Amino acid sequence: MNKSPKVSIITISYNNLKGLERTIKSVLKQTYQNIEFILIDGASNDGTDDLLKSYSKKVSFWISEKDKGIADAFNKGLKHVTGDCVFFLNSGDVFVNDNVISNVASEWEYNPVDVLFYKVQVSKNVFIPAKELKDDVEKIWNLATVPHQGAFINSEVFKELGGFNTNFEIRMDYEFFARCKSNHCTYKYVPETIVSYEAGGKSMLIENRKKFWKEGMSIKHLYNIPITYKDMVKAVIYR
């Protein structure tokens, strides 16, 4: 590439004032200069609006209005993307150091694939997107083990395949990556941790585990992804 890629970072939030400020500060501390920072809030009532106003001159775009869920919020952010690559960093999530985007952008310049996958850190545990990924890349799609915070996506992919499917309340990222595979997107795994991920999102709630599984099964059927033994066990549990 003739110039450093423009990286669009999308952060969505709802009633997570302290977490959102941690995320904003983490992005603003990045040493990489060519960043487009887009903030999408779902009409929070915890003071988030005032926080966004206080950072309005330091971000590229922000809005606070009701949405129809996570996928809808992601798609609102995508409408304002002008960068070469897209990265999703939810409120409460932070980069592990100030050079993450600089390093990722350099990797992408040398390997301009459709999707770069990285590790993320959950609390004090390191979560690897797919076990032994180097030897069995197929697992990166079939096991649904890639958090969107670990994916660095070429913006052209969204132009070609569209945004997130709003029919999925929880597993919209799994559906998107399954769609990528179905359309033969190129990808590379980089075994480095880039984000500290705040556990406790919608998919982690006990009352949502059944929906999480059901949406996952719908996606597997939709894209002909193999059913595992664990899937069959959960079919008995959630019937």
CB 9 within 8 A of CB 36: yes
**pTM attached to this predicted model:** 0.91
195 SS3 class: strand
Residues 97, 81: Cα–Cα separation, whole Å: 24
Please indicate, yes or no, if residue 207 is contained in any of the structural domains: no
Query: pLDDT digits over 60-94, tens only?
Result: 999 999 999 999 999 999 999 999 999 999 999 99
Please indicate, yes or no, if residue 40 is contained in any of the structural domains: yes
Q: What is the pLDDT of residue 61?
A: 98
Please indicate, yes or no, if residue 235 is contained in any of the structural domains: no
Q: Which helix (H) or strand (E) holds 177?
A: helix 172-182
End-to-end Cα, the chain, rounded Å: 52
Q: What is the pLDDT of residue 232?
A: 87
Please give the DSSP secondary-structure letter assigned to residue 105. Answer: H
Please indicate, yes or no, if residue 229 is contained in any of the structural domains: no
CB 172 within 8 A of CB 71: yes
Q: What is the mean pLDDT of residues 212-223?
A: 92
Query: pLDDT digits over 9-35, tens only?
Result: 999 999 999 999 999 999 999 999 999
Angle of helix 172-182 relative to helix 70-78, nearest 10 degrees, comes to: 60
* Helix locations, 29-124, DSSP H: 48-54, 70-78, 100-110
Please indicate, yes or no, if residue 34 is contained in any of the structural domains: yes
CA proximity to 200, closest of 90, 107, 54, 44: 90
Please indicate, yes or no, if residue 60 is contained in any of the structural domains: yes
Please indicate, yes or no, if residue 77 is contained in any of the structural domains: yes
Q: What is the DSSP string of 132-187?
A: TTTT-TTHHHHT----GGGEEEEHHHHHHH-S--TT-SS-HHHHHHHHHHHTT--E
Total tally of structural domains belonging to the chain: 1
Q: 115 pLDDT exceeds 60?
A: yes
| Boundaries of domain holding 94 | 7-199
Q: What is the pLDDT of residue 226?
A: 86
Q: What is the pLDDT of residue 191?
A: 86
Instruction: Supply the CATH number for residue 74's domain.
Output: 3.90.550.10
Please indicate, yes or no, if residue 222 is contained in any of the structural domains: no
Which residue bears the tokens 């004032």? 17
